[in-house]
Structures are given as structure tokens and as C-alpha cells.
Amino acid sequence: MPAIVLLLAAALVPAAALRVLPATARPVVRPHCAATMMAEATPAAAAYIEFIVGVPEPCVPDVSLTRSRDGTTGVATFTFDNPTFLQASTTALGDTTGMYLKDSEGTVKTSEVTATFTNGKPRIVKGVVVLKSSDEWDRFMRFMERYAKANGLGFSKA
């Protein structure tokens, strides 16, 4: 089974526009999250992402998924274009210690978070979640189903 990349686009893109691409596909270019000022996510939402504990990130990322041929391991890469937690006004809210995927089941945490700088300022943030078992994969997929529903996204399997 070939590896797949599933791109989940911003909430403003209709579910019909989502598509499954081969792993070699280039990421979709979208408007900057901070510039579009999408509706704020709240902890009351079914699922949300935080970089600063207690502060949900309203920017909806592109998500790329790969899974091993035997289905036991996988990697989820979240790509945020200019997320709001990078703005100077959020520095008083706390430190960025990782990426937290929160839903009704609990929290999935990763400390594998990197930033790409443009003109001396952070712009693209990538968070990587390594899924080391089929149970972790299933848990992650349940989170993604809730996150997609909370943000008006569609989901389609390859």
C-alpha cells in the first residue's frame, strides 16, 4: 500500500475541495492564518490544538499523514502558515512548550515543533506526531475526526 498524504484545508474551503494526494505532492498554499483572523477556537470545542497551554490556536493547519505498510506506525505532520501564537501579543500568555492535540479523550502531546523564518520572523510552524502503534494511530484518527467536525472540514480515505 503506498503512503498517502491527506491535506486538510482551512475551514473556509468546502469539503468537496479536499483531496488525497500522493506523498510527493507539494503543499497547498493558503492565506496566512493570522491575516484571515478565523473564528477563535474555544476549549468548549470538541477538539482543538494548543501551542501555549490553555490558549487554543484558531489557525487550521494542513495535515499530512503517512502510515507504514503493515499499519503499525505512522507520522502526522501539521503545517501552520503564520499561526496566531507567534504574534507578539501572545507572549504574555505563556511559553510554547510543544503542540497539544486536545479533545474529550484527553491530550496528545508532541515536542517536535519547528519554525521556518521569513525576513527574520517566524512564519511556518510544523508539528510532527509520531504514531508508534496501531492504538496510537486509532487514537489520533479519533482526534482528527473530532477536529475536522469542530472546524467544518471534510475527511476522505484513500
pLDDT interval class at 153 (50, 70, 90): confident
CA neighbours within 13 Å on the CB side: how many for 64? Answer: 17
The hierarchical CATH code for the domain 4-25+33-150 is: 2.40.30.220
The reported pLDDT for the residue numbered 158 is 59
**In the chain, what are the domain boundaries?**
4-25+33-150
The reported pLDDT for the residue numbered 68 is 92
pLDDT tens digits for range 15-38: 333 333 333 333 333 445 654 333
The reported pLDDT for the residue numbered 91 is 74
CA neighbours within 13 Å on the CB side: how many for 155? Answer: 15
pLDDT tens digits for range 58-89: 999 999 999 999 988 999 999 999 999 988 66
pLDDT interval class at 95 (50, 70, 90): confident
The reported pLDDT for the residue numbered 92 is 79
Between residues 150 and 38, which one has the greater pLDDT?
150
Mean pLDDT computed over every residue of the chain: 76
Angle at alpha carbon of residue 19, lines to 14 and 22, rounded to 5°: 160
Residues in the chain: 158
